[in-house]
Structure 1
Amino acid sequence: MAVLFDGELFADYHQFYLSDAAGNAEMPTDWTDEALRRRILCADGVLVVSTARNMTVPVRIELHDEEPQFDAGLADHIVIGDLRTSGEIVVAGCSDYLPDAARRSVPEGDLRVMIVFTGLGSLSEDGLAGEDRYVVHLWPGRGEGVAVLRQWSAD
């Protein structure tokens, strides 16, 4: 396992994304009720994560050789999606300036992406503070669509 990113992103509009650095991806905008419940949108070359807060949030991205195993009972929400890359991704908040955004090398081709959400129930009443955290696990694999493995009970 390799840690590709461990820091904070400004989740403007309640979202951050991973995008193919080749720049051919078009940002999806079809936030249906189902997509909001799943908390992700996948399109060719881009994956958008919907966060609990419209603030700076902690994000960790890990690259694995295969699907990671862990105790799902420790998470609030877990969802798997797909991302196709040219071998480099951009990690950014929705309104970040892309030339300055973090870029990381990943395997070229199809990746599976599992996002593990924790601390979703810790938000303050005004939604500005909280202990929510987002861990993104990547591994090579052919896309199988979006699957929610654990649904956050407040959704």
Structure 2
Amino acid sequence: MIRRYEIFADYHQFYLWDHARQPSSALDYTDEDVRRRIKASLFIVVVQPERNMTVPVEVEIASRAPDLALDAWDHVAEASLELPSGRLEIHECTGGSIDILPVAPGCHRVRLHCAGLGTLSEDGLDGDDRYRLVIWPAPFAEIAVLKQYRGRDGG
């Protein structure tokens, strides 16, 4: 199942969480959390887009891990997400619920793909950045950055 959304990423974030738990996001962010563009806590994954605006997001619910194809993406990272209810909710930071998707109950892996990160305008409001999330059942694992975006200047 693949779904496409336009999500308002206020404060450079939106959430994936277990619909039955509706956890609150951790407010303390480290430089490493920002660099990874993904943060995870119990029953929640925080996705951190480049723009503080509405961004295009594609979500795929898969039955197994997708092939690892890094070339088309600026940044790729993974985190684990417990979904005991079998209902994944996509939620804006200051808005409301975007969608609730059925998944197998249990632990899942979320792979975040980011592209177009270097296309933002000087004011950061416009750009061709886009995001893809693939979610599949998997045992718990720590956050992993599979490809790190270094910025327009390579730093």
Please confirm whether the aligned pair reaches a TM-score higher than 0.5, indicating the same fold: yes
Instruction: Say whether residues 1:140 and 2:137 are aligned partners.
Output: yes
CA distance in 2 between partners of 1:122 and 1:16 (Å): 20
In structure 2, the gaps of 5 or more residues are: none
* Corresponding residue of 2:89: 90
Alignment map for 1:57-68 (pairs within 5 Å): 57-68=55-66
| Partner SS for 2:149 | coil
Matched, 1:49 2:47: yes
C-alpha deviation, 1:93, in angstroms = 1.4
Amino acid at match of 1:103: I
Q: Distance in 1 between matches of 2:17 and 2:69?
A: 28
1:107 aligns with: 104
CA change 1:140–1:11 in 2 (3 A) is same
- The total of aligned residue pairs comes to 151
Which amino acid counterpart does residue 152 of structure 1 have in structure 2? Y
Instruction: Tell me which residue corresponds to 1:9.
Output: 7
AA at the equivalent of 1:74: A
The answer to whether 1:129 aligns with 2:126 is: yes
Cα root mean square deviation, aligned: 1.2
CA deviations on 1:15-49 (whole Å, 9 max, x unpaired) are 11101100352312221001111011101110001
Percent identity (aligned):
40
Question: Take 1:96 and 1:108, find their aligned partners in 2: how far apart are those partners?
Answer: 26
Separation in 2, partners of 1:24, 1:137: 21
- Please report how far the alpha carbon of residue 75 of structure 1 lies from its aligned counterpart in structure 2 after TM superposition: 0.4
Runs of 4+ in 1 over 6 A off after TM superposition: none
What TM-score do the two structures reach when normalised by structure 1?
0.93
**2:149 match:** 152
AA at the equivalent of 1:142: P
